Structure 1
């Protein structure tokens, strides 16, 4: 059961600030902002947590802020997560769509990065959150004066199970029918599911437009991760087991190029964004990608000072 999202959970939350000793030194030029964005039907904080305890001794680990995990990989980074209302069924269901979340994300980034609008940005996004990132970057590129620095400063994109060509394993019709069996009509807001449908025109346009824009104006490194285990999608809103792959390898990967790579994670769609220990093999794979992206920028920053 997803924990209710409150007003305090929404927006950009700093999980680990940039090192204080780098503020007035040459290292300040090497600081980057890392922003994590969750998917649909998830809590902004719990989305990144894995239970590593026992039934008697509960212990959750958030790999974005646990010191020997992401902070250790990117010691010069300010680490944040962005939260939004993503519940589409049940009490508190919110009418939501990717373009709305993208605009709110841009507003939050502009506020938080006001002093450093051109600081390098690295996004880590799960599922629907990746589509929000694409839409936000397109909007930022089309209106640079409104969103200064956001598009040009994005140097790395990490997508965890983002359905660039739709989520084949989650049928909008089936999910809606399951929700209608469990909830009242006014407790269901299915608009957010539309972009996940294979063949959705808005989804195709966003992905195609980002591909064209990226080739012309942005050289950010991109890493796409896809799942190797099937997920019980039937349990999302109903009580009937229905096990499927949510995002296939082909849907979860943008076209390969020099600046784009793809990796598999031995996880279901719903836990590929959760890591509990730095020794987990899947975390090590993600860790290496984050490290390579941040080290590349730091190397370029050092050369610029020479």
Structure 2
């Protein structure tokens, strides 16, 4: 059962400040998917059902902070519940605008600090939309697009989520909840062939043709998920996002890796020794190492032009 997202849970929350003595600070922002809690989305229980021990790999000292010791680590939260009590009518474009406003406030003193995004599922589409908006109006959102050096996507359905159709999900939800407790608008972007989804991915793909583009790594699931249990009582075990849908593009700056997990636990790690976390850690380290050189090349390119 997903915890309700309250007003205190939304917005950009700093999980760990960068050390005061850090020379080259980078901002890392994690964004969850739909129907998920902004904090719980990144937590894994390393205890038992009776005595749970929850680990959030974003701020556990021997996990992401150890991988990125000079990073200010944040997570962005939004109202993602689309069924049940407190269901919200939500769209990727709305969440993207709110994310940009939050980044503007948090990065006001350092708008051109290197920026790395980590996103799960729908959160990845929010990131793409936010970056497109920031690129379209750089005077309104200074530094966001120009300073983004790395993007890590966990199961983001760039060509739609094939596991369970929007119609199936809505029907399952309406069997369990009242009509006014089901807000299915947010699901539309996850449908294969959705025009808004195609436009966002295509438009972002055009930005990937330029020099000095951000590094991108896409992770895809190897285990199926019981998507039927999300909203109802009927088991429907399927892959939610396929390998092909979960890869943004085929450019030389895009890498993809498999994770031996289902869609709903591929963004949760409990120990630094987990093989999948070690892979993620290497990706983050490589992106951080490449950031200064990437930003320098961009600045020289802009100066020359």
Q: Which has the higher mean CA deviation after the structures are superposed, 208-217 or 102-111?
A: 208-217
Residues 212 and 294 in structure 2, CA contact (< 8 A), matched pair in contact too: no
Separation in 2, partners of 1:297, 1:179: 44
Separation in 1, partners of 2:25, 2:296: 12
Tell me the C-alpha RMSD between the 2 structures.
Answer: 1.5
After TM superposition, give the deviation of residue 303 of structure 1 in Å.
Answer: 11
CA offsets 1:36-71 (integer angstroms, 9 cap, x no match): 000000000000000000234220000000000000
Q: Which has the higher mean CA deviation after the structures are superposed, 52-61 or 270-279?
A: 52-61
Residues 152 and 218 in structure 1, CA contact (< 8 A), matched pair in contact too: no
Q: Which residue of 1 aligns with 2:99?
A: 105
- The 5-angstrom pairing of residues 217-236 of structure 1 reads 219-236=213-230
- The 5-angstrom pairing of residues 135-284 of structure 1 reads 135-216=129-210, 219-284=213-278
Tell me the TM-score normalised to structure 1 length: 0.95
What 5-or-longer segments of structure 2 have no aligned partner?
A: 299-305
After TM superposition, give the deviation of residue 283 of structure 1 in Å.
Answer: 0.5
For residue 123 of structure 1, the aligned residue among 91, 98, 117 is: 117
CA offsets 1:69-89 (integer angstroms, 9 cap, x no match): 000000010000000000000
SS class of match (2:209): helix
Aligned length: 298
What 5-or-longer segments of structure 1 have no aligned partner?
A: none
Residues 45 and 53 in structure 2, CA contact (< 8 A), matched pair in contact too: yes
Query: Is residue 77 from structure 1 mapped to residue 71 from structure 2 by the alignment?
Result: yes
Separation in 1, partners of 2:233, 2:121: 23
Separation in 2, partners of 1:300, 1:156: 10
Distance 1:203 1:180, change over 3 A: same
Query: Is residue 20 from structure 1 mapped to residue 23 from structure 2 by the alignment?
Result: no
For residue 44 of structure 1, the aligned residue among 26, 38, 62 is: 38
Separation in 2, partners of 1:274, 1:32: 22
After TM superposition, give the deviation of residue 258 of structure 1 in Å.
Answer: 1.6
SS class of match (2:3): coil
SS class of match (1:81): strand
